[in-house]
Copies of this chain bind each other. A is one copy, B any other.
Amino acid sequence: MTKKQTYSIGELAREFDVTTRTIRFYEDQGLVSPARRGQTRVYSPADRVMLKLILRGKRLGFSLAESKELIGMYQPQSDNRHQLLALQSKIQQRREQLEQQLRDIHAMQLELDDAEQRCVDAMNDLEK
């Protein structure tokens, strides 16, 4: 028995806590392309994975266009040497961006530590 799993738009919307409008919008932008049973959209596990990747991109501040490009990088269909080199270069750029984000997160965490400490101190002061 193969997992013949499919999803309705409503199911996915609930799972990922977005509206159906959002999912249809992503289709407009060419990020997902669900099958149809009549008029109705039928989503595959692959479509579901796409959504996951898009939303992960969003959490990191990526635009839909960026996420789309990023996802495209995961399957190099190029047989052209030049394009492969270009792809590698893009991958490298993304890597560097992610590392910048890591640094930024670390800095913020330190500041949050600091902020919380001042909170605690302020509360201790309140208790005379």
A residues whose Cβ falls under 8 Å from a Cβ of B:
56, 58-62, 70, 73-76, 78-79, 81, 84, 87-88, 91, 94-95, 98, 100-102, 104-105, 107-109, 111-112, 114-116, 118-119, 122-123, 126
Contacts and interface: CB of A to CB of B under 8 A. Distances in A.
Nearest to A97: B59
Contact of A122 (B56, B76, B91, B109): B76
Assembly stoichiometry (copies): 2
Given A91-B119, A105-B101, A105-B102, A126 B60 contact: no
* Ranked 8 nearest A-B pairs via Cβ: A61-B61, A73-B115, A56-B104, A98-B105, A88-B119, A91-B116, A74-B115, A84-B123
Q: DSSP majority for the A interface?
A: helix
Nearest to A61: B61
B126 A79 contact: yes
Most chain B beta-carbon contacts within 10 A, residue among A76, A95, A100, A102: A76
A60 B123 contact: no
